[in-house]
Chains A and B, each alone.
Chain A
Amino acid sequence: MEKFIRQEGLVAPLDRANVDTDQIIPKQFLKSIKRTGFGPNLFDEWRYLDEGFPGQDSSQRPKNEDFVLNQPRYQGASILLTRRNFGCGSSREHAPWALMDFGFKAIIAPSFADIFYNNCFKNGLLPIVLSEDNVEALFKAVEGKEGFRITIDLEQQQVIPESGEPLAFEIDEFRKHCLLNGLDEIGLTLNEAETIRAYEARRAEREPWIFQ
């Protein structure tokens, strides 16, 4: 996994609550057996006027010019600003894969759905929770100035808008550590293989049927 330390970038505002993972990456694209290549189909039903299917050349498809990610001013955005309960619904990790493949490095929202939130960290994508008021203020700032940029400092746990005060955010220590160092979680867990085996031995005595 790539390290996440500091990220400076253009912000794209997606002004919707309860954006579900079916919208982030529709089901027909889940048939891939790879982790990459989902970017062109991120928000497929909102981005294009026709129906998408796997394997087509999306650059030739008619675009919905009103959709935020199609607007010239948000080209090259690496930070997504959105509303509450982002990533609800299906557990598909294809959702963070698609966001990252598109070029997003971080997502800012007042809240995230649990499974999606968790999946982001496994891929080096940083979901940041800010208060409804702070998110609202960022929406106003982004809409008010073309090319509005934000810096995210993970070490300091701060969102630093190009104008205004830095905003602090909370993050779990373990997740922060893994992101900052780009750590392989499986490798870390396997360091505790002896502890896992000892646990299994205790369980097998109490609940042998689990291990049959």
Chain B
Amino acid sequence: MAGKTLYDKLWDAHLVTEREDGSALIYIDRQIIHEVTSPQAFEGLRLAGRKPWRTGASVATIDHNVPTTPFKSAAEIVDQTSRIQVQTLQDNTREFGITEFGIGDVRQGIVHVMAPEQGAVLPGMTVVCGDSHTSTNGALACLAHGIGTSEVEHVLATQTLVAKKMNNMRVSVEGDLSPAVTAKDVVLHIIGIIGTAGGNGYAIEFAGSAIRGLSLEGRMTICNMAIEAGARAGMVAVDQTTIDYVEGRPFAPKGEDWDKAVDYWRTLVSDADAEFDAEVNIDAADIRPQVSWGTSPEMVVPVDAMLPDPQAESDEVKRSGMQRAYEYMGLKPGIPVTDIKVDRVFIGSCTNSRIEDLRAAAEVAKGRKKADSVKQVLVVPGSGLVKQQAEKEGLDKVFIEAGFEWREPGCSMCLAMNPDRLEAGEHCASTSNRNFEGRQGNGGRTHLVSPAMAAAAAVAGHFVDIRELDQA
């Protein structure tokens, strides 16, 4: 019999019961809650007269709606509907006895930055949140994926989820990454290869020497975008990097429990003889800094390439999608990526707003200035703690001196639910995860890049190969 994959092990460890009809109940160790996808779930509980199964399993924060300019209470949020959601989360968490890192709490931040930072996500856990980028947390060798609001309610009420086992996919990136290539470039390259539906029905394990060589934060960037390849869950096996990351965090086990936990966590790797339903092998040496050009994350090219020709695409459905994307983006096939001018730059989001991301952007910004043609460069740390750390290192000053804006934590311009947004027709170099039509503002045009590439575009006024910044 073949061995087990990491996903098989996580699934088996959380299986409560299998039903005759093939569905299963899996136990959920941790639920992360935010203001946008939870109000209807709490309302459902109230209407049915139900209580949360285990309040300690949930941890909440506000991120999608919050302004990134300083504010002290919900009453200061100008947008009425945003204010109601923020207030509603506060009321619901109080009523049901759930921990919330709310306004003014230094731990407040983007759900998928806050939770691992607190050690609220641990190896071997099942983690869900009403947010598709919950896959981020799989970097800690846990089974983490997004769910809908009905499921948020189901998990609150029963601590379980009705689930069907996914298939196993392994994406292996072997070899050494070139120095200018970051985790973001790796995952964009992967999505370019397997496509936005390539991972449908799969849990993806990211493996190989290039992945093992990444920091835990880099692995989060990779797993974050598993959903952009269609896979609800992405994960990376436990190694010393995982253990070192978790040690000492507020929610992490201590003392004897810690030793016991580490012994268990070290088993959270795919067995050598495990079989995967699909395997993708990538040579790290092939990966160059990436820029998305279209309206789907799979529409991505290396920065030193020309924009692709739809006529060369044999699949009719894909070809018409590319043509529509060119129309929306106001771009033409055959032009060099470096000819695309940017109007705004956004450095932030659950993909790239951790301290290492800010350091990478600051390294490029240091001693340089934002191009005059660029209207705005937003730098939005992922949490209050990331912001604090960045300020300790003086990164805020580097950004401000370069003409960038240093903001308060939140999701911000990744999805423009708060006041940070693009105007119609504007091109944005963005470290976020989705370049869908209108995502960053009605009519806005998003280009997905790494933090260093975003900072370089801010300085040059157009996309530039980070390896050639000073010649640009």
Residues of A within 8 A of B (CB): 16-18, 20, 22-23, 26-28, 30-35, 45, 51, 54-55, 83-85, 88-93, 96, 111-115, 118-119, 122-123, 172-175, 177, 185-186, 189-190, 192-193, 195-196, 199-200, 203, 206-212
Contacts and interface: CB of A to CB of B under 8 A. Distances in A.
B22 interface: yes
A32 B81 contact: yes
A186 B153 contact: yes
Interface in B325-370: none
Contact of A17 (B131, B146, B317): B317
B39 A33 contact: yes
Contacts of B375: none
Interface residues of B, number: 78
A212 B120 CA distance: 11
A63 B457 CA distance: 37
Given A173-B21, A189-B162, A26 B148 contact: no
Given A113-B197, A172-B22, A23 B436 contact: yes
Most buried by B among A31, A88, A177, A206: A31
Contacts of B176: none
B197 A18 contact: yes
B160 A196 contact: yes
Contacts of B166: 114
A115 B321 contact: no
Contact of A114 (B124, B125, B200, B318): B200
A22 B438 contact: yes
7 contacts: A18-B196, A31-B417, A83-B317, A115-B227, A189-B154, A196-B27, A210-B122
Contact of A195 (B17, B317, B417): B17
A27 to B, nearest CB: 5
B37 A92 contact: yes
Contact of A91 (B50, B132, B415): B132
B201 A114 contact: yes
A189 B264 CA distance: 29
B385 to A, nearest CB: 22
Contacts of A51: 442-443
Interface stretch (B82-90, B101-109, B283-291, B389-397): B82-90
B432 interface: no
Given A23-B437, A33-B84, A114-B201, A119 B150 contact: yes
A114 B197 CA distance: 10
A83 B319 CA distance: 13
Contacts of A22: 415, 434, 436-439
Contacts of A122: 148, 150-151
Contacts of A55: 81
Given A17-B317, A18-B321, A31-B36, A203 B48 contact: no
B137 interface: no
Given A45-B437, A88-B230, A54 B296 contact: no
A84 B317 contact: yes
B56 to A, nearest CB: 7
Nearest to B199: A114
Interface in B5-47: 16-17, 19, 21-23, 25, 27, 29, 36-37, 39-40, 43
A195 B48 contact: no
Contacts of A89: 132, 227, 434, 436
Interface string B151-171: 101100111101010100000
B132 to A, nearest CB: 4
Contacts of B150: 93, 119, 122-123, 185
Contacts of A195: 16-17, 25
Given A17-B317, A90-B132, A27 B416 contact: yes
B94 interface: no
B22 to A, nearest CB: 6
A115 B228 CA distance: 12
B32 to A, nearest CB: 12
Contact of B162 (A83, A174, A211): A174
Interface string B397-440: 00000000000000000011100000000000000001011110
B470 interface: no
